[in-house]
């Protein structure tokens, strides 16, 4: 029996030229797959902070409102003049969203590779996942083992590959231990388990005692709480113990990157590095890989001249390491999908829920342990 696509729908986000942000759910047409393609019925796709960059980041959230344009309901928010400038490049374009997800192959092209996937549950990345259906090249999806649920395959790209990418970068750039901030995040918990499995010393920075407990329960030793009075000294002690000289910072705004560099410099002195007027000669690096705090990054100095603060993104990292290493990473993630790289979701929502005001506010909070999973088949 051939698949029925008559009720296919897709989520869109549009920054209008008039200065509003709109979320809509609209009918979509699904073409028959070509020889090497499959059509996946989407069943599980997470809302990650990286998706929110396309969704809520431009919006003044207090102005969220529902509007009825006659055909369908839409969610609308005002966009400040500053955000209109920042996001001006997308003005007037109706954009699909959703970086990664999983579902069932319901139609397949004539090639053997495509036909072999018919009826399989597959995991994939590549955008446009907030939709009832997504057409993919057969070679771009990863089948899950028989019997595995779609939610097991929903988040096997963005966070797991980033966690591995951080440890790759650490090794490639000659460091032997890592610092991580906002470390009780979904990704942070994966990184904690990965570092424990691979014997990599990790200094995890969190902002509450409850978050610290999440990580010590996983088994981490060096967890420091930035809300504690002893934070700076605790951080230096952890850096002395681990020798970490590279940090991955998800927060971005504020002074934390600078504090980490000062603490690394202090730790270098305590570890007995030779004194120089230019500071410790070991290169100290902070990579900003997230902007949970969108304010300016403040660098105070006080850590010599051998340091760097720059951005880090998964996609260029994958391009840098090449296809063979990338495939190894994917295989490891698939094998450990219910262990090291398991994601936990607080709530499963439908496509329609994605434009419900209270639900949008809840998934925009990016709070510890509150990841939302969209099931477009609901």
Ligand X SMILES: NC(=O)c1ccc[n+]([C@@H]2O[C@H](COP(=O)([O-])OP(=O)(O)OC[C@H]3O[C@@H](n4cnc5c(N)ncnc54)[C@H](OP(=O)(O)O)[C@@H]3O)[C@@H](O)[C@H]2O)c1
Asked if 208 contacts 226 with a C-beta cutoff of 8 angstroms, the reply is no
Minimum separation from the CB atom of position 337 to ligand X (A): 16
Minimum separation from the CB atom of position 109 to ligand X (A): 31
Q: Which positions from 167 to 206 touch ligand X by CB under 6 A, shown as an x/- string? A: ---------------x-xxxx-------------------
**Choice between 96 and 254, CB closer to ligand X:** 254
From CA 300, how far away is CA 298, in angstroms rounded?
6
- Selected from 3, 292, 309, 321, the binder of ligand X by CB under 6 A is 292
Q: Which positions from 39 to 58 touch ligand X by CB under 6 A, shown as an x/- string? A: ---------xxx--------
**Choice between 82 and 310, CB closer to ligand X:** 310
Minimum separation from the CB atom of position 87 to ligand X (A): 16
- Selected from 160, 368, 374, 376, the binder of ligand X by CB under 6 A is 368
Q: Which positions from 212 to 251 touch ligand X by CB under 6 A, shown as an x/- string? A: --------------------------------------xx
How many residues bind ligand X (CB under 6 A)? The answer is 25
**Choice between 135 and 208, CB closer to ligand X:** 208
Minimum separation from the CB atom of position 12 to ligand X (A): 22
Minimum separation from the CB atom of position 6 to ligand X (A): 34
**Choice between 25 and 235, CB closer to ligand X:** 235
- Write the DSSP string, 17-68: TTSEEEEEEEE---PPP-TTEEEEEEEEEEE-HHHHTTTTTTB-GGG-EEEE
- Selected from 289, 345, 363, 372, the binder of ligand X by CB under 6 A is 289
**Choice between 16 and 370, CB closer to ligand X:** 370
Asked if 353 contacts 361 with a C-beta cutoff of 8 angstroms, the reply is no
Minimum separation from the CB atom of position 348 to ligand X (A): 16
SS3 content of the chain, % helix, strand, coil (to 5): 35, 30, 40
Minimum separation from the CB atom of position 312 to ligand X (A): 6
Angle at 236 (CA atoms; ends 232, 242), nearest 5 degrees:
145
**Choice between 51 and 128, CB closer to ligand X:** 51
Asked if 5 contacts 41 with a C-beta cutoff of 8 angstroms, the reply is no
Q: Which positions from 74 to 113 touch ligand X by CB under 6 A, shown as an x/- string? A: ----------------------------------------
Minimum separation from the CB atom of position 95 to ligand X (A): 18
Residue 81: is it exposed, middle or buried by C-beta count within 10 angstroms (0-12/13-18/19+)?
exposed
**Choice between 20 and 368, CB closer to ligand X:** 368
The helices-and-strands tally (H runs, E runs) of the chain is 11, 20
Give which of 241, 235, 177, 233 is closest to 206, Cα–Cα: 235
Question: How many other β-carbons are positioned within 10 Å of the β-carbon of residue 300?
Answer: 11
Minimum separation from the CB atom of position 169 to ligand X (A): 11
Residues 337-354 as b/e (b if ≥16 CB within 10 A, e otherwise) read beebbebebeeebebebb
Residue 138: is it exposed, middle or buried by C-beta count within 10 angstroms (0-12/13-18/19+)?
buried
- Selected from 74, 175, 222, 366, the binder of ligand X by CB under 6 A is 366
Asked if 181 contacts 250 with a C-beta cutoff of 8 angstroms, the reply is yes
Q: Where are the beta strands (DSSP E) in the chain?
A: 9-15, 20-27, 37-47, 65-68, 73-78, 94-96, 100-108, 121-125, 133-137, 142-143, 178-180, 202-206, 222-225, 246-249, 252-254, 284-288, 293-297, 307-311, 347-349, 372-374
Residue 133: is it exposed, middle or buried by C-beta count within 10 angstroms (0-12/13-18/19+)?
buried
Number of residue whose CB is nearest ligand X: 290
**Per CB under 6 A, which region of 23-31, 118-126, 141-149, 306-314 contacts ligand X?**
306-314
Kindly list the residues in this chain that would bind ligand X in the complex (CB under 6 A). 48-50, 158-159, 162, 182, 184-187, 207, 250-251, 289-290, 292-293, 312-314, 366-368, 371
């Amino acid at each position: 029996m051939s698949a029925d696509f008559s009720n296919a729908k897709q989520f869109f986000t549009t920054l209008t030229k008039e200065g509003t942000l709109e979320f809509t759910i609209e009918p979509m047409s699904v073409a028959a797959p070509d020889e090497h393609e499959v059509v996946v019925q989407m069943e599980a796709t997470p809302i990650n902070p990286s998706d929110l960059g396309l969704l809520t980041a431009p919006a003044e959230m207090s102005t969220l409102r529902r509007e009825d344009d006659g055909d369908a309901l839409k969610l609308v928010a005002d966009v400040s003049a500053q955000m209109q400038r920042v996001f001006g490049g997308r003005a007037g374009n109706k954009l699909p969203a959703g970086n990664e997800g999983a579902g069932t192959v319901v139609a397949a092209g004539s090639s053997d590779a495509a036909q072999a996937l018919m009826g399989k549950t597959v995991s994939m990345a590549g955008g446009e996942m907030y939709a009832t259906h997504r057409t993919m090249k057969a070679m771009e999806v990863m089948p899950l083992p028989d019997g595995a649920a779609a939610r097991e395959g929903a988040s096997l790209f963005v966070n797991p590959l980033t966690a591995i990418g951080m440890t790759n970068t650490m090794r490639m750039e000659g460091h032997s231990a890592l610092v991580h901030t906002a470390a009780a995040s979904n990704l942070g918990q994966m990184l904690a388990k990965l570092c424990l499995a691979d014997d990599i010393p990790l200094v995890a920075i969190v902002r509450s005692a409850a978050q610290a407990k999440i990580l010590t329960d996983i088994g981490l030793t060096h967890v420091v709480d930035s809300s504690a009075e002893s934070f700076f000294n605790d951080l230096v002690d952890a850096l002395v113990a681990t020798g970490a000289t590279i940090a991955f910072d998800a927060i971005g705004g504020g002074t934390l990157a600078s504090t980490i560099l000062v603490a690394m410099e202090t730790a270098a002195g305590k570890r007995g590095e030779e004194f120089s007027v230019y500071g410790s000669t070991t290169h100290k690096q902070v990579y900003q890989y997230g902007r949970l705090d969108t304010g300016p990054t403040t660098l105070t100095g006080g850590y010599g001249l051998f340091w760097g603060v720059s951005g880090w993104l998964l996609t260029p990292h994958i391009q840098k390491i090449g296809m063979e290493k990338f495939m190894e990473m994917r295989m490891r993630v698939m094998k450990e999908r219910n262990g090291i790289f398991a994601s936990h979701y607080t709530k499963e929502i439908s496509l329609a829920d994605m434009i419900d005001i209270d639900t949008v506010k809840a998934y925009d909070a990016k709070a510890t342990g509150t990841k939302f999973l969209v099931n477009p088949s609901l």
